[in-house]
């Protein structure tokens, strides 16, 4: 039986109504929420009702389900009465149960980021080609045509993404916005031009998806909300089905997602929202507004509770995290940030006798080195991590970077030091989805080029690495690969003629063991099945192979998305055959673009002892390690004031055109903005400063025992320019604290 802390017991004793729980990192909120679910199922649930648990990350779903199942089993209750869903899977369910109401048909395809970007790129390119005069006439003299087009291309794409996301979050269609668009007088601002562009791309994008029966993630939420708003009887039925809603990570909810849950809960319903406003870091990727959950907490009809006690980190680390909050709330040089960045909530270490105590002080420490150049910082940190992994093989450790590019450089440094270093690459969000794409790509390539030995060997290596079947140890694999390569007649191996032996197809290779033959046979059998399935439509082919190769829901979900993507490509390009389609799959496998939506990032990832995780700070959310290295904590990524350099702000385009365009759109849509700066570029800068502080907070609180925070005075920026960096004020404040304890 689990022992609860007092604050946790307070949450589990919930009886009904709206409740908000602000929970600090490591406060045991999943366990608390799962216990609450089990209690409600046992004591309060009406017949035919289900407790609905909503999360924002796939990884959390299984975790919740397992915990609830365990608590129910402990109480000898049947395994029923609850549903755990991500918000997207909830919206999917609402639309899928009644697709006609949402304007689509059963079997609609949900686009992922890559597919969506593909449509957007086409739209932006078409616009740039059609409006050459517009953008060329605005080119400053010191810009080349090529460079200027690139700048427009990139900015247009980012702006279109933001505008479409904003429009969808306000449930506004392209036609609906256009009908309210007023002509601008005088020479238009960049914001006006980019808004016009984005609206045209929006229309194009929706048309592309509509004819293919596709929806993107935002559509899914928008349609679910539309259906619930317009069809109150359906909404009422769902309310009866889910009389209790428990929401995790509520700080990541975007306004439309909050509206969806609010509609499902109803004004007199039962809705428990657990989150940490101080960990709201999704504003960069989604329309999440950190103020939203804070506003909810403050509503008079909401009971507010806190889970401030956490046993995760050592006290020195907790002190740093709390100091960051205090400094931002009381001393930040930009007064608006004091209000916006954090809720003044401290992490409280566990009291004596707690079942999950903080690491002892003597096993916990902080270091904050400064380097002259990033070329010194990254190899040094890499070296420290490798040493740490060697000396503490039972502990977990991670190097967290602010961006993928720096993360990639860290991996390069690790490999320069030790070619065989063990590391997990969580960069670009989802390493696993790339693995899945890569594996499928490798197997499909054999179907594309059945006679190519290289394709056969590559498929074998990918499958062996994946642990498929029994394809041999690493040492065996080299021999089996040679065997598979030495096969001048693959048809004889895969489809042996009557009366012959499949092994006759291979040229003699010295040292081949019986186990090697077995591995080759496993491979050949898989390929035979794959060839037999080859006549299926591409999506069914991919799913048939996937059922054979993959065994986790996450992998199957990824495979399904890939299958859907390939089917859409095939429908869009009737002349394409498996070869062309597989080339596209190869592009995903090489991972230049994130394939899945944000909710899937780091799905199912568990840090491995002695293996260095390399990740961005964003992807590290929800994870923890014994030792964490934070690199590149400087004033570029963590700007201290409004004069700093901001990503997405370009003087040559009049500031931040995407935010200018967004502000214009919000004005058209009559969006009421509270506590926002009237200058859109300034507002965007304030939001960036506040979110970067919360990201820093999230990064700090990933560490259990040891935390190392470093930065460099000089970096090599894009285009191999040397750029100097300054100490960001937040880090200065933490250094002062650290030194005072040192």
Interface with other proteins in residues 471-510 (CB under 8 A): 489-492, 494-495, 497
Instruction: Provide the sign of the torsion angle of the four alpha carbons 231, 236, 238, 242, taken in this order.
Output: positive
Decide: 380 and 371 in contact? Cβ < 8 Å: yes
Minimum distance between the CB of residue 252 and other proteins, rounded to whole angstroms? 21
Residues 234 to 263: which contact other proteins by CB under 8 A?
234, 236-237
Judged on CB neighbours under 10 Å (0-12, 13-18, 19+), 466 is: middle
Task: Indicate which single residue of 390, 422, 478, 551 sits in contact with other proteins (rule: CB under 8 A).
Answer: 551
Q: Select from 261, 357, 260, 277 the least CA-distant residue to 314.
A: 357
Select from 123-131, 212-220, 474-482, 673-681 the region that touches other proteins (CB under 8 A): 212-220
CA distance 448 to 462: 17
Residue 456 is encoded by which pair of tokens? 């056969």
Residue ranges in 442-471 that form contacts with other proteins under rule CB under 8 A: 447-448, 450-451
- Cα torsion 389, 391, 393, 398: sign: negative
Should residue 387 be labelled a site residue for other proteins when binding is judged by CB under 8 A? no
Q: Does position 650 bind other proteins by CB under 8 A?
A: no
Task: Work out whether 42 is an interface residue with other proteins (CB under 8 A).
Answer: no
Q: Does 575 bind other proteins (CB under 8 A)?
A: yes
Identify which range of 124-132, 143-151, 224-232, 308-316 contacts other proteins by CB under 8 A. Answer: 224-232
What is the Cα–Cα distance from 578 to 142, expressed in whole angstroms?
Answer: 46
Query: CB-wise, 89 or 306, nearer to other proteins?
Result: 89
8 phi, psi to nearest 5 deg: -70, -40
Site for other proteins in 617-636 (CB under 8 A): none
The residues facing 53 across adjacent strands are 84, 246
**Binding segment toward other proteins, per CB under 8 A, in 94-102, 162-170, 298-306, 387-395:** 94-102
Give whichever of 148 and 234 is closer to other proteins, judged by the CB atom. 234
* Residue 598 lies near other proteins (rule: CB under 8 A): no
Using rule CB under 8 A, residue 573 touches other proteins: no
Of 410-449, which residues contact other proteins (CB under 8 A)?
447-448
Under the criterion CB under 8 A, does residue 209 sit at the interface with other proteins?
yes
What span, in angstroms and rounded, lies between the C-alpha atoms of 736 and 521? 64
Is residue 571 near other proteins by the rule CB under 8 A? yes
For tokens 């089993």, name the residue. Answer: 73
* Measured torsion, CA atoms of residues 130, 134, 137, 138, in degrees rounded to the nearest 10: -130
Spatial distance between the Cα atoms of 738 and 193, rounded to a whole number of angstroms: 49
With binding defined as CB under 8 A, does residue 602 bind other proteins? no
Residue (of 177, 182, 290, 211) closest to 666 by Cα position: 177
Q: Report residue 519 CA to chain centroid gap.
A: 36
The DSSP secondary-structure symbol of 482 reads H
Q: Does 214 bind other proteins (CB under 8 A)?
A: yes
H or E element: which one contains 423? strand 423-425
4 or 578: CB nearest other proteins: 578
Give the separation between CA 457 and CA 688, rounded to whole angstroms.
Answer: 48
Nearest distance in Å: CB 68, other proteins:
14
Select from 260, 378, 543, 663 the one that contacts other proteins (CB under 8 A): 543
Measured from the CB atom, the residue of 292 and 558 that comes closer to other proteins is 558
Of 97, 134, 383, 714, the one binding other proteins by CB under 8 A: 97
Determine, following the binding rule CB under 8 A, whether residue 541 of this chain makes contact with other proteins: yes
Which one of residues 44, 302, 482, 533 is an interface residue with other proteins (CB under 8 A)? 533
**Torsion angles phi and psi, residue 113, rounded to 5:** -60, -40
616 by DSSP, 3-state: which? strand
Of positions 192, 548, 641, 666, contacts other proteins by CB under 8 A: 548
Q: Rule CB under 8 A: is residue 78 a binding residue for other proteins?
A: yes
Q: How far is the CB of 492 from other proteins (least distance, A)?
A: 7
- CB nearer to other proteins: give 101 or 644: 101
For other proteins, the binding residue among 3, 9, 15, 80 (CB under 8 A) is 80
Q: Does 104 bind other proteins (CB under 8 A)?
A: yes
- Asked if 402 contacts 617 with a C-beta cutoff of 8 angstroms, the reply is yes
Structure tokens at 267: 């004004």
| Cβ-contact 343, 278 below 8 angstroms | yes
The dihedral built from the CA positions of residue 169, 171, 175 and 177, taken in this order, carries a sign that is: negative
**142 to 201, contacts with other proteins by CB under 8 A?**
173-175
Residue from 422, 478, 532, 647 in contact with other proteins (CB under 8 A): 532
Question: Stretches 228-236, 256-264, 359-367, 619-627: which one binds other proteins (CB under 8 A)?
Answer: 228-236
Is 582 an interacting residue with respect to other proteins (CB under 8 A)? no
Nearest distance from C-beta of residue 213 to other proteins, angstroms: 4
Contact between 98 and other proteins per CB under 8 A: yes
- Please name the helix (run of DSSP H) or strand (run of DSSP E) that holds residue 343, with its range, or none: none
Q: Is there a contact between 603 and 62 (Cβ–Cβ < 8 Å)?
A: no
Using CB under 8 A, pick the residue from 467, 499, 574, 678 that binds other proteins: 574
Nearest to 358 by CA among 1, 703, 717, 736: 703
Question: In terms of CB distance, is 522 or 615 closer to other proteins?
Answer: 522
With contacts defined by CB under 8 A, how many residues of the chain interact with other proteins? 82
Residues 112 to 141: which contact other proteins by CB under 8 A? none
Rounded-to-integer distance, Cα 574 and Cα 402, Å: 42
The correct pick among 43, 141, 142, 233 for binding other proteins (CB under 8 A) is 233
């Amino acid at each position: 039986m689990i022992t609860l802390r007092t604050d946790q017991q307070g949450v589990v004793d919930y009886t009904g109504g709206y409740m908000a729980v602000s929970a600090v990192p490591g406060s045991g909120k999943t366990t608390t929420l799962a216990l609450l679910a089990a209690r409600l199922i046992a004591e309060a649930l009406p017949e035919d009702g289900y407790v609905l648990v909503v999360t924002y990350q796939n990884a959390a779903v299984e975790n919740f389900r397992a915990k609830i199942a365990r608590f129910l089993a402990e109480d000898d209750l049947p395994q029923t009465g609850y549903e755990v869903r991500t918000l997207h899977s909830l919206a999917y369910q609402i639309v899928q149960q009644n697709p006609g109401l949402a304007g689509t048909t059963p079997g609609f395809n949900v686009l992922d980021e890559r597919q969506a970007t593909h449509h957007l790129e086409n739209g932006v390119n078409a616009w740039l080609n059609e409006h050459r005069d517009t953008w060329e006439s605005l080119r400053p003299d010191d810009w080349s045509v090529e460079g200027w087009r690139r700048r427009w291309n990139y900015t247009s794409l980012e702006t279109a993404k933001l505008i479409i996301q904003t429009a969808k979050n306000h449930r506004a269609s392209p036609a609906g916005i256009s009908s309210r668009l007023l002509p601008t007088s005088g020479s238009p601002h960049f914001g006006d031009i980019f808004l016009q562009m984005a609206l045209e791309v929006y229309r194009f994008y929706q048309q592309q998806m509509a004819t293919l029966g596709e929806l993107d993630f935002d559509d899914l939420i928008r349609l679910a909300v539309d259906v619930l708003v317009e069809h109150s009887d359906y909404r009422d039925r769902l309310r009866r089905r889910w009389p209790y809603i428990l929401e995790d990570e509520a700080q990541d909810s975007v306004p439309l997602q909050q509206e969806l849950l609010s509609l499902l809960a109803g004004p007199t319903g039962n809705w428990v929202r657990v989150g940490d406003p101080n960990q709201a870091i999704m504003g960069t990727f989604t329309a999440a507004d950190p103020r939203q959950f804070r506003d909810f907490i403050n509503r008079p009809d909401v009971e507010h509770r806190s889970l401030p006690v956490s046993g995760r980190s050592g006290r020195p680390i907790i002190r740093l995290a709390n100091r960051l909050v205090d400094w931002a709330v009381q001393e930040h040089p930009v007064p608006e940030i004091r209000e916006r960045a954090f809720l003044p909530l401290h992490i409280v270490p566990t009291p004596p006798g707690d079942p999950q105590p903080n690491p002892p002080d003597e096993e916990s420490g902080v270091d904050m080195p400064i380097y002259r150049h990033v070329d010194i910082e990254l190899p040094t940190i890499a070296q420290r991590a490798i040493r740490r992994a060697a000396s503490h093989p039972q502990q977990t450790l991670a190097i967290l970077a602010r961006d993928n590019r720096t993360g990639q450089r860290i991996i390069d440094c690790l490999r320069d030091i030790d070619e065989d270093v063990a590391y997990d690459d969580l960069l670009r969000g989802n390493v696993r989805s790339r693995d899945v794409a890569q594996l499928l790509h490798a197997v499909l390539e054999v179907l594309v080029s059945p006679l190519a030995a290289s394709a056969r060997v590559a498929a074998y290596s990918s499958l062996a690495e994946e642990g498929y079947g029994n394809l041999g140890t690493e040492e065996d694999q080299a021999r089996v690969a040679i065997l598979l390569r030495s096969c001048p007649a693959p048809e004889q191996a895969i489809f042996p003629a009557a009366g012959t032996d499949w092994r006759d197809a291979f040229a003699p290779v010295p040292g081949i063991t019986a186990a090697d033959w077995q591995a080759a046979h496993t491979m050949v059998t898989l390929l035979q099945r794959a060839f037999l399935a080859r006549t299926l439509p591409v999506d069914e082919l991919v799913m048939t192979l996937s059922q054979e190769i993959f065994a986790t829901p996450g992998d199957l979900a990824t495979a399904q998305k890939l299958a859907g993507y390939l089917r859409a490509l095939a429908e869009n390009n009737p002349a394409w055959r498996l070869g062309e389609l597989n080339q596209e799959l190869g592009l995903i496998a090489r991972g230049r673009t994130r394939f899945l939506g944000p909710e899937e990032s780091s799905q199912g990832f568990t840090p491995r002892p002695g293996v260095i995780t390399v990740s961005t700070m964003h992807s590290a959310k929800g994870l923890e390690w014994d030792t964490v290295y934070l690199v590149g904590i400087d004033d570029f990524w963590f700007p201290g004031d409004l004069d700093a350099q901001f990503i997405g702000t370009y003087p040559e385009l009049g500031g931040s055109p995407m935010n200018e365009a967004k502000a214009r759109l919000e004005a058209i849509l009559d969006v009421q903005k509270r506590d926002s700066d009237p200058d859109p570029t300034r507002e965007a800068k304030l939001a960036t400063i506040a979110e970067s502080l919360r990201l820093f907070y999230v990064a700090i609180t990933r560490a259990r025992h040891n935390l190392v925070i470093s930065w460099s005075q000089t970096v090599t920026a894009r285009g191999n320019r040397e750029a100097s960096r300054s100490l960001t004020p937040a880090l200065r404040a933490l250094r002062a604290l650290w030194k005072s304890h040192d």
